[in-house]
Structure 1
Amino acid sequence: MRLELLHIDGCPNTVKAYERLKEALSCVGRGDVEVHLRVLKSATDIENTGFAGSPTITLNGTDIFPAGAPASELACRIYMTPDGFDGLPTVDQLAEALTSSGI
């Protein structure tokens, strides 16, 4: 199992996304799972990653939020949260997505 947080240089949401992801893993009893941070620096880096904007979280290469459209450029991502659009999902959304993805 490989859990990756794909991001671009300078993404203002990377650190907070990592923190929320670690918290969500604890919430679902999988605090032992390692989160691999992977910076994407070019369009070539995006190929075959499941990247849908920064930050994207993949499990074994598949976006855990499948509604995200694959990106072909280095760009930010927007998530729909209970409070409206945001640059990253909530801890609850992450926990639900992780569980749905079979973690």
Structure 2
Amino acid sequence: MAAPRVELLWWSGCPSHGKARTMPQAALTEAGLDPTGMETLQVVTEEEAAQEGFVGSPAIRINGTDIVAPDDQPPALTCRLYVRRDGRPGPLPDPADLRDALAAALTRS
């Protein structure tokens, strides 16, 4: 089974990127995968945001797909707002969304 490509994209203007870094690492460890394989990309310019399809910080992608579909949000250097499964808004994705996306990627490998 090949390990999926896990990426954390972040912008320094958003304070939640530090905590966001630990989420994929924990999910990878929980799945029995090496968390040190996670890639990180700091998005610095609006041009980079557009090139990466970055709609806000933090963003977690697995095999190139954002774990939470950004809908029609335009690329931008901004903090991202997620809605957890229980309806609460927050600066980080719901951990269950991350686990489900990782599990789906593992079943496709």
Give TM-score, length-normalised by structure 1.
0.81
Work out the number of aligned pairs and report it: 102
- Structure 1 segment 1-103 matched on structure 2, within 5 A: 1-32=4-35, 34-81=37-84, 82=86, 84-100=88-104, 102-103=105-106
More strand by share: 1
Between the aligned residues of both structures, percent identity stands at 31
CA RMSD of aligned residues (A): 2.1
Larger radius of gyration: 2
**Does the 8 A contact of 2:83 with 2:90 survive in 1?**
yes
**Does the 8 A contact of 2:13 with 2:78 survive in 1?**
no
Give TM-score, length-normalised by structure 2.
0.77
The DSSP-based 3-state class of the residue aligned with 1:47 is: helix
Question: Which amino acid counterpart does residue 98 of structure 1 have in structure 2?
Answer: L
More helix by share: 2
